[in-house]
Structure 1
Amino acid sequence: MAKNGARILLIYTGGTIGMVRDYGSGSLRAFDFNNLLQQIPELHQIDCRIDTVAFANPIDSSNMDLPHWQQLARLIGEHYHSYDGFVVLHGSDTMSYTASALSFMLENLAKPVILTGSQLPIGDLRTDAKENLITSIQLAALTEESRPLVREVCLYFEHKLFRGNRTTKINTEHFEAFDSPNYPALAESGVHLNLHREALWRSPGRGQLKVHLELDNRVGVFRLFPGMHPDWLRYQLAAPGLKGLVLETFGAGNAPSASWLLDSLADAVKGGLHVVNVTQCRGGAVLMGQYETSSGLLDIPLIDGRDITTEAALAKLMYLLGSGVAPKSFKTIFEAPIRGEMSEN
């Protein structure tokens, strides 16, 4: 594609956005991204060159796993100096997990990595795929004084660009499938493309891109619920090799004050397990100690997840464990935002 502007690498991992319906049979077949301009001529209006690469075996995003994250991070690292931005086409179900993981794996990122997808195949009558794809490429190609305007891992869906590690999927049927409950949108697409510069992440590091491929997935999620049997938590905490746990508590980080719960968690933390307290609520933050029912968790002490999402908390645990962070400093490092994934105290 002979263009003089930004060079964008489009990476297709799989998902609905990469499918087109055969109206003769009604079945879905793969979209031909090699002939992108011919099939989506609107892209001619963006001053950029688009190259494409696809997973050898595209996957449903429900099958997304550590090796796929490593493949994505490696692809971006290998092509980093040849392109001005990257657009990753991904199934929506696990997109927030992948966006969170990539944000930690790509240290000192100074270019846009934008994940997008769709609820309907790209050839359907009312598809959201074209708008999501076109605007993601347009956002990735934005520059100012020869530098990319967006310099972080993002997620674009239904007219909004979000910080990737602040997102969560909220709907399986609506086009507005994602939300960023604790951080504003980075950009909004309407009649005009409005970029909210004050919300953009600016990495404090000025070094070269570092691609971290070592992730430790010996982590888990445990959601508290009323009426829970004590043995259920004890069973989870005793899982062989478990190193980190995201504990989804009530409200602002509250939990039952029952001794079996607090004692089980305290014993696990003393034994070296890193337990992060996050809220089950869609928005808001953990405020341990604000209510009596969270003071026991503060005393253990659990890691304060504040307003981090469960997806980002899991990814951050995997990243820090894979980086070999010393146990004594683990809590302090986790509680500090390193990729804009949580708010400052």
Structure 2
Amino acid sequence: MANKPNILIVYTGGTIGMIKDYKTGALKAFDFSRIIDKIPELEQLDCEIESISFDEPIDSSNMNTEYYINIVEIIEANYTNFDGFVILTGSDTMAYTSSAISFMIENLQKPIIFTGSQLPIGDLRTDAKENLITSIEIAASRRNNKPIISEVCLYFEYKLYRANRTTKISAEQFEAFASKNYPALAESGVHLNFNENVLLEFVPVDQQLIIRKKLVTDVVILKLFPGITEIVVAAILNIKNLKGVVLETYGAGNAPNKPWFLDLIKKAIQDKIKVVNVTQCSGGSVILGHYDTSVGLKSIGVISGIDMTTESAIAKLMYLLSEDLTDKSFKNYFQKSLRGEISEK
């Protein structure tokens, strides 16, 4: 008989780890070593569960790249002893964090499932229990003695998504996340159904796990809006030590075709700043050159992010900028699917 899967819960902070003091009404951090006491249903799962918490749980608004490194170091230190990982973070920055982790871990052969909740674990109507229980069940799911999932995912409100395809869409609905450009990897109903034709292919067992901890944070997201001024764009592009820009454009990658705007972007690119183009729309793709208002961007060397989310684009930018690539290699890698983050034609 096969051994039960070992699952590690990593709690970094966020609403899911809070319980209410019913005397004062205040929220306080929950001790995850006593998780079975709070959610006895976990005993019914066919796996062994352990947990580890950040020394000081952080609010998702305080998430940064140093904490990304803490997360991957916990996974690295425990990788051989566990069959799957459930990472609990605040939902506000979960799409950013999980996208970044997907790029920081190469040749992943085990599931890493991010989840959280909109209400604390002790609330009467909480979504925390279902999100946590199903995330653990997914992390423990195996077929032919291999994990069904071997990528970084995000589970919320009955749906499992590829993490680097997600965006938070609601601050108050339980269905807080969406993946507009890629289908759900699994759906939880009466049965837990995996959409196996959209999962990443399993990495061969002889491929060694690679953890990348260098991220370049000298980057910015520049969101266009009607009326944006030359002074504002120039100030952003002249930020000291700036290395990369995620340009959030209109529709299929369109931007003002005014000379001042194109000249500023062109100068930034000449100054070795990488400029990548993603759409502001919640779904769809950048198609540079499709409209006249994106021909100029294409001609001066702006890199298309195709159908990447902003969260994934900023994470990928941080990752690739640390790799000392030529301009041509950078563009090739940015427009290539490395972790399933982009739809290749």
What is the TM-score normalised by the length of structure 2? 0.97
> For residue 265 of structure 1, what is the aligned residue in structure 2?
265
> For residue 194 of structure 2, what is the aligned residue in structure 1?
195
Contact residue 277 and residue 303 of structure 2 kept, 8 A: yes
What is the TM-score normalised by the length of structure 1? 0.97
Deviations 1:139-168 (A, max 9, x none): 000011211110000000011000000001
Pair 1:53 & 2:48 matched? no
SS at match of 1:162: strand
Spell out the pairing of 1:14-163 with structure 2 (5 A cutoff): 14-163=13-162
Contact residue 85 and residue 113 of structure 1 kept, 8 A: yes
Deviations 1:74-119 (A, max 9, x none): 1101111110000001100100011000000000001000000000
Cα distance in 2 for residues equivalent to 1:31 and 1:256: 50
> For residue 240 of structure 1, what is the aligned residue in structure 2?
240
Contact residue 4 and residue 49 of structure 1 kept, 8 A: no
Cα distance in 2 for residues equivalent to 1:162 and 1:219: 26
Pair 1:218 & 2:218 matched? yes
Cα distance in 1 for residues equivalent to 2:324 and 2:6: 36
Contact residue 19 and residue 31 of structure 1 kept, 8 A: yes
Cα distance in 1 for residues equivalent to 2:36 and 2:3: 16
Cα distance in 1 for residues equivalent to 2:29 and 2:63: 19
5+ residue gaps, structure 2? none
Residue 31 of structure 1, CA deviation = 1.7
Contact residue 218 and residue 242 of structure 1 kept, 8 A: yes
Residue 204 of structure 1, CA deviation = 5.8
Residue 324 of structure 1, CA deviation = 2.0
Deviations 1:1-35 (A, max 9, x none): xx941000000000000011111211112222112
Deviations 1:234-284 (A, max 9, x none): 111111100110000000000111011111111111221110000000000
Cα distance in 1 for residues equivalent to 2:267 and 2:97: 32
Cα distance in 1 for residues equivalent to 2:175 and 2:311: 18
Cα distance in 2 for residues equivalent to 1:18 and 1:82: 24
- Residue type of the alignment partner of 2:43: H
5+ residue gaps, structure 1? none
Cα distance in 1 for residues equivalent to 2:341 and 2:6: 28
- Residue type of the alignment partner of 2:50: D
Contact residue 262 and residue 296 of structure 2 kept, 8 A: yes
Spell out the pairing of 1:248-259 with structure 2 (5 A cutoff): 248-259=248-259
Cα distance in 1 for residues equivalent to 2:34 and 2:293: 58
Spell out the pairing of 1:323-342 with structure 2 (5 A cutoff): 323-342=323-342
Contact residue 117 and residue 131 of structure 2 kept, 8 A: yes
> Which range moved further: 55-64 or 322-331?
322-331
Cα distance in 2 for residues equivalent to 1:249 and 1:176: 26
Aligned length: 343
Residue 199 of structure 1, CA deviation = 1.0
SS at match of 1:252: coil
Cα distance in 1 for residues equivalent to 2:29 and 2:260: 53
Cα distance in 2 for residues equivalent to 1:5 and 1:181: 35
- Residue type of the alignment partner of 2:325: V
Cα distance in 2 for residues equivalent to 1:116 and 1:134: 10
